[in-house]
Amino acid sequence: MSLNFILGQAKFDHRQEMIEQMRASMAEHPKDQYFVLVPNHIKFNAEVGVLNALKEATDKTGQSLYANGQIQVFSFTRLAWYFMKNTPTYQLPRLSNAGLSMLIYHIIALHQTELTVFAGELNQTGFINQLVRQFSELKVGQVSAADLQHIAGSLETSEQADLGGKLHDLAIVYEAYTETLSGNYVDNADLVNQLTDYLAQGNELKHAHIYLDGYATFSAQEQQLVTVMMKQAASVTVSLVMQRAPKQTPELGDLFYEPSLTYLKLVQLARENQVQIKLDTTAKKLRVSTELAKLDDYWVASVPAKRLPVEQLSAQTNLRVFTAETRLDELNQVARQIRTMVAQQPERYHYRDFLVLSRHLAPYENFVGPVFDQMEIPYFDDSDKPMDKHPLIELISALFDVRAHYYRYQDVMRLLKTELLIPSTSGQPMSVKDFRQALSLTENWVLKTGIEGSRWVEKEDWTYWRLQHVDDETLTEADVEVQRQINVIHHFIGAVLPPFFKQLDKATNGTEAAKILYQFLADNGVIDCLNSWRVTATDNGDLDRASRNEQAWNTFTGILDEYVSLLGEAADFDIDEFAALLLNGFEGTNYTQIPATLDQVTISETGIVQLNDYQVVFLIGATDDVMPDQVAESSILTDGDRDRLAPKLADNQFLTLSAGTRMTFDPYINYMGFLTGCQQLILSYPQGGTDENGLQPSRYVTSIVNHFQLPVVTYTATPNVATQQASALQPFIGSPRFALTNLIKVSYQAKETQLPLPKPWVFVYRWLRLSSVKTLTDQLLAGIDYRNTPQPLRPDIVQGLYGDQLNTSISQLETFYRNQYEYFLKFGLRLNERDEFELSAASTGEYFHMALDQLMKLVVSRQLDLSQLSESAINDLVSEVMPSVNDQPQFAILNSSHRMGYIRNQLIETIKRMATIIGQQQQITPMRTLATEVLFGHVGADSGMPALSFKLHGDRHINVRGKIDRVDGMNVGSKEYLSVVDYKSGRRTFDFEQAYYGLSMQMLTYLDALRQDADSVSPSQLNSLAGALYLHIQSAGISLNKLGKGKRLDLNDLASISDALLSAHKYQGVLVADPVILTNLDQDIADGGHSKVYPLALKKDKTLSATAKTVITAEQLNDLLSYEEQLIVNAGNQIFAGSDKLNPFQNARKQTGLQYSPYTAVMRFDAMLPENRYHVLDKLTPADVLHRIDPKQQEADKDGNN
């Protein structure tokens, strides 16, 4: 029995010293057994390294093969297998973390009433995983449930509420947990204890020599095992990275604090057990380059913070620092340098000689794969890859969510989008392409109609319908095909899921439920689909993806097996708990990382133990926010809890140190990272990024740079087009794809600065055209001359889109004047946003329009006069028409929930209010409704008055259709004066400027259509136009203070309140300044005053007031209508000419044609680009507009231009 230490700084070769001692011992004890114990993470590579070192030291024949039966390289858990594989204890079923999670979940559910702190945490994300880790920590720390109960009882009263409650709950759950496992199952945390007991009772180690390498500290469990090894084995040798043996307990903050404590504790245990302690051996052979050795000495001397004299390195190639603009640029430079070194010195470097480290890889996780793939470098990313997003796990989760939430949209789509459940047609599964198309159509339809719940399982087909502004609302063949495809998905869900859920509901225990679930997956092709994915990935050479599919399935079946073993026959079976247990089992699972090849770059984190035989180490992300690192609490027991528990634990019990204490170990962690390599260390840090502006280099890096006077190389993201030296291209040349990326950048610069492409880049271009990316090079370089300018449509395209006759609405032409390219996208290509099941402003407006239309039709058909009806009678009329409106499919959302029902009632109240207001308006004005929803041209399958039809160039025509909400008429003498009323759900006035520029032509178009065929509305009399008006559909409120002009109004003054409400709903628009109209339109202002109904004010002499700015003469109205016709013809001619300019308007108020446009992502308009310019509109007053459209002025302008 003996204990020996191999000590020395990280720059020395501890393994070489260990091998020398091992060789000497083998010579002395040729029949003894030798065990090298290392952390599990590096076991394979350590075994290769030890055998290679023994081969070099003992075999001088130069043979390529070497074997040694005396030596085994194990981790602690693998050592347990070696000695105990045939024992009954080791044969017990092994529970994975997933199984432990399910067990803990079930225990908490059973003891819910006994728990205080944990009672409400059961379904909190991550909580069960925290408990799994906490119980593992307690086991490793040799702390039992009884210990927790004892400590809880000994706490001060002030500590009982928080820590006492935690310990109480932990003890209850932990005791049940250990009782369930004891004698029935085993987890990895138990193996070390079992190995300790096994070795303590036998003589297996009598002729064994133990070497421990790669450890800085041991858990309480491991420490107890090492103690047994010291007592039982022939010798135990421990290699620790530290400068010298400590004589006393080091201070917190000492660089070698952890290994020093380990040294002192093992020495103490050896003395307590009468184990011989041999003289320490110091590793003396340097394993690193001179520069790294000096870095080692500097770091050891400078921690804790000490100022040391500046030191110059003889060569700075082995210790370098660089920075880049972003993390992506930084990683690109790392990959580029690796590729260059391997390419230029293949006899010296292989990819396996490189290690890329970061304190945390998370900020780089989205870059690693693309960067190294682009650089054509094989790599192994050592970071954990969670399994929880694999389609199989998503399928299981969605499957139970569909059941729990009864076919909620999100859950059904999650289920189907895994592409593991695919319908069959003619006995064969649909192709993935066809399935995706059908699923996309189904999702659009479900979003549009709000289908949920029982609608998914109804046997009747879903009926597809369209409610769009097209010429024909009947279903086309394409629509019928859409209906067929959405019903394939609909009936698939209805056929597959209900029987499965019904079987689950009948399950009496967990075993039955597990069988039903497994059989469901098998019967519906999920297993076959996963196998197909695996085979395809393997055939494509993507072994990682193939492995992930296999691992996901094995994890699932393993969880099912463990569930059945643990809880399969439990009497209190509950299907919801069954689902929760399975999903908790998946939580926290990671893919097993298996290197795909031996020659690849390793990418890992500094906190993970690494072998120190890499040639070159890149330490990336060396910023001040992670070096030193901020260690956060992430366990059930907080730092404060640990500090209070530590004094109450026995000497052989200890938990993980607090986060605050662990932060003091950061210099040692980085020290080990710095010295992982043998030849070179390259430190790098980003300066910022899209969401990380102002990153600063770590003070570790700054101190190294200052001490060794190192230059910091800055790599820019973009090459400089003015540089002609070939050497300047080095940072931008790597693989062909990487070089192409930078060629594109410099080519853009050359174009923008109007400089020729530098000759070195011309050479790169020629090289790329001979490489594997020739086609891609040509395609991308062609894009340099791309301008974001649409090309005019060819005549054949115009013909295909529009034919010879353009049937359109005025709102479509308004879109043309807002932005020609948007017109092309919306009405040429017919691109539309996906309809969603929501109550939009447009659908609210449609609801109001339909309700008021039906109301006014009822009034006209019954020859009623709203002015003579009471408010209750008007409300009854509204109530009579609303059921037919609410039954329309586009308003189904108003019946979908109680909240929507409330909104529906509010909308109905608004309609009632507006009907009452219209009745009150009719008490003041003789205007009466003659017709509603007056059509001109073909609208859908309906037609009415003739369309506004105009002949265009090239024997083409444009027909403008529309629907006038309401036409009112007023009889004065033998003449009837007609006005157009348009309902608006938002406030609207007649804007002369917008009308002039073609942005608001609707009211003028309605008047023009009415002018051309007024007899269809008023057939018995002469008629004339009175105006066009907007009616804002609202339930307006009033300010009582404003009513009295600063004096609070008496609430009993109902007449004033009624007048104020009437004025709040005043019509807005344009009126004709005909004396007959002005004096008869509003009877209340016959002798002068401001109208409460119309935008009209008269002086006492019955002449027009100056405040009535939208009252124009009949001649001016005719000029407006003629100008509006010119705009229609002009738009039609431009459309048929193929004009599709990207020319959104911008007015003087900085409003643009891009506001509220859903096509901005398609148009990609950028005002900073020289080719993208707004169509700027001058500010115009009504007088300006009327002057410009005056035929005489237009003729004068035409003569002036000529």
Model pLDDT for residues 336-355, shown as the tens digit of each residue: 999 999 999 999 999 999 99
Give the pLDDT band (50/70/90) at residue 472: very low
Helices (H), 59-217: 76-84, 97-110, 127-140, 145-154, 157-159, 165-181, 188-201
- Decide if 661 contacts 250 (C-beta within 8 A): no
Does residue 628 have a cis peptide bond before it, meaning omega lies within 30 degrees of 0? yes
46 with 164, same domain: the answer is no
**Does residue 199 sit in the same domain as residue 157?**
no
315, pLDDT greater than 70: no
- For residue 792, pLDDT beyond 90: yes
pLDDT, one tens digit per residue, over 921-940 is 999 999 999 999 999 988 76
Q: What number is the average pLDDT over the span 1128-1137?
A: 96
> Percent of the chain scored above 70 by pLDDT?
95
Separation CA 804–CA 824 (nearest Å): 16
What SS3 state is found at 850? helix
- For residues 92 and 9, what is the distance between their CA atoms, to the nearest angstrom? 43
| 279 plus 234 within the same structural domain | yes
Name the band, by pLDDT with cuts 50, 70 and 90, for residue 112: confident
Give the pLDDT score at 1036.
Answer: 74
In a domain, 201, yes or no: yes
CA distance 1020 to 969: 12
**Residue 1048 reports pLDDT greater than 60:** no
> Which residues share a beta bridge with 948?
960
Distance CA 966, CA 979 (A): 8
Q: For the ranges 481-490, 838-847, 921-930, which has the lowest average pLDDT?
A: 838-847
- pLDDT number for residue 617: 96
Note whether 867 and 954 are same-domain residues. Answer: yes
Query: d(Cα 1074, Cα 1011) in Å, to the nearest integer?
Result: 16
The answer to the question of residue 1183 being in a domain is no
* Average pLDDT, rounded, for the chain: 89
- Does 471 map to a domain? yes
Cis previous bond, 304, omega within 30: yes
pLDDT score for 1199: 65
Q: What is the mean pLDDT of residues 677-695?
A: 86
Min mean pLDDT across 63-77, 459-473, 692-706, 1086-1100 is at 459-473
Q: Which residues pair with 1146 in a beta bridge?
A: 1152, 1176
**Residue 396 shares a structural domain with residue 296:** no
Q: d(Cα 781, Cα 779) in Å, to the nearest integer?
A: 6
Average pLDDT over residues 37-65: 78
Q: Is 985 a residue whose pLDDT tops 80?
A: yes
Pick from 660, 668, 661: nearest CA to 609: 668
Domain boundary among 287, 317, 344: 287
User: What are the tens digits of pLDDT across the range 1188-1201?
Assistant: 998 887 777 766 66
279 pLDDT band, cuts 50/70/90, is: very high
Among 154-158, 411-415, 807-811, 980-984, the minimum mean pLDDT is found in: 154-158
Q: Which of 192, 160, 229 is nearest to 76 (CA)?
A: 192
Which CA distances in Å does 460 have to 60, 455, 488?
Answer: 83, 9, 12
Question: What pTM was computed for the model?
Answer: 0.80
Burial call 187-207: b when 16+ CB within 10 Å, e when fewer = bbbbbbbbbbebbeeeeebee
pLDDT, one tens digit per residue, over 623-666 is 998 999 887 777 888 888 888 888 888 888 888 888 888 888 99
Question: What CATH number corresponds to the domain at position 679?
Answer: 3.40.50.300
Q: Mind listing the pLDDT tens digit for each residue in 949-978? A: 999 999 999 999 999 999 999 999 889 999
41-45, 769-773, 1040-1044, range with greatest mean pLDDT: 769-773
What average pLDDT does this structure show over 1038-1066? 69
Residues 943 and 1052 in one domain: yes
Residue 1147 placed within a domain: no
Domain boundary residue among 142, 158, 185?
A: 185
Q: How many residues does the chain have?
A: 1202
User: Which has more pLDDT, 337 or 543?
Assistant: 337
* 3-class DSSP assignment, residue 242: strand
Number of domains present in the structure of the chain = 6
In a domain, 832, yes or no: no
Return the residue matching tokens 């913070």. 305
- H/E segment holding residue 506: helix 477-506
Q: What is the pLDDT of residues 388-403, one digit of tens each?
A: 889 999 999 999 999 9
DSSP 8-state secondary structure symbol assigned to residue 249: P
CB count in 10 Å sphere of residue 689: 15
**For position 8, what pLDDT does the model report?**
95
Q: What pLDDT, in 10s, does the model give residues 566-597?
A: 888 887 888 998 998 888 888 878 888 777 77
| Cβ–Cβ under 8 Å, residues 904 and 937 | no
Residue 1169 lies in a domain: no
For 1008-1061, the DSSP string reads: HHHHHTGGGTSTTSEEEEEEEEEEE-------HHHHTTTSPPPTT-HHHHHHHH
> What are the Cα distances from residue 61, in Å, to 58, 66, 70?
9, 11, 20
73 and 138 housed in the same domain: no
Question: Do the domain assignments include residue 269?
Answer: yes
Cβ atoms 365, 383 nearer than 8 A: yes
Q: What is the mean pLDDT of residues 193-219?
A: 92
Q: Rounded distance, CA 624 to CA 702, Å?
A: 10
Lowest mean pLDDT among 466-470, 939-943, 1011-1015, 1024-1028: 466-470
Q: 550 with 392: CB under 8 angstroms? A: no
Instruction: Judge contact between 526 and 496, C-beta under 8 A.
Output: no
C-alpha radius of gyration, the chain, whole number: 41
CB atoms within 10 A of CB 1011: 16
pLDDT tens string 223-249: 999 999 999 999 999 999 999 999 999
Examine the domain organization and report whether 885 and 1004 are in the same domain.
Answer: yes
- Give pLDDT, residue 469: 41
Judge whether residue 427 has pLDDT over 80: no
Same domain for 606 and 486, yes or no, is: no
Residue 881 belongs to some domain of the structure: yes
The pLDDT-based confidence of 470 (bands split at 50, 70, 90) is: very low
The reported pLDDT for the residue numbered 471 is: 42
Pairing of strands 928-936, 938-939: unpaired
Write down the pLDDT at residue 110.
87
684 neighbors 334 (Cβ within 8 angstroms): yes
Phi first, then psi, for residue 492 (nearest 5°) are -65, -45
Residue 409 sits in the same domain as residue 465: yes
Rounded distance between C-alpha atoms, residue 1119 and residue 1125, angstroms: 10
How confident is the model at residue 919, as a pLDDT?
Answer: 92
User: Does 501 lie in the same domain as 552?
Assistant: yes
Look up the domain containing 1051 and give its range. 841-1133
**Number of C-alpha atoms within 13 angstroms, CB side, residue 1010?**
32
Query: Which of the two residues, 833 and 359, has the higher pLDDT score?
Result: 359
- Domain match, 204 and 236 both: yes
Runs of H (alpha helix) within 286-364: 290-302, 327-344
Quickly state the pLDDT bin for 186 (edges 50, 70, 90): confident
For residue 725, with 0-12 CB atoms within 10 Å meaning exposed, 13-18 middle and 19 or more buried, which class applies?
exposed
pLDDT band of 451, cuts 50, 70, 90: confident
Residue that wins the pLDDT comparison between 450 and 339: 339
Model confidence at 65, pLDDT cuts 50, 70, 90, reads: low
Q: What is the mean pLDDT of residues 1009-1022?
A: 84
DSSP 991: -
Residue 439 to residue 420: CA distance in whole angstroms? 13
Task: Provide the token pair at 550.
Answer: 């296999």
Which of the two residues, 512 and 1105, has the higher pLDDT score?
512
Contact 1082, 1041 (CB under 8 A): no
Check whether 412 has a pLDDT greater than 80. Answer: yes
Domain boundary among 529, 555, 586: 586
User: What pLDDT sits at residue 1049?
Assistant: 55
Percent of the chain's residues with pLDDT above 90: 57
Quote the CA–CA distance of 545 and 1063 in Å, as a whole number.
70
Provide the pLDDT for residue 958: 95
Lowest mean pLDDT among 713-722, 736-745, 1037-1046, 1166-1175: 1037-1046
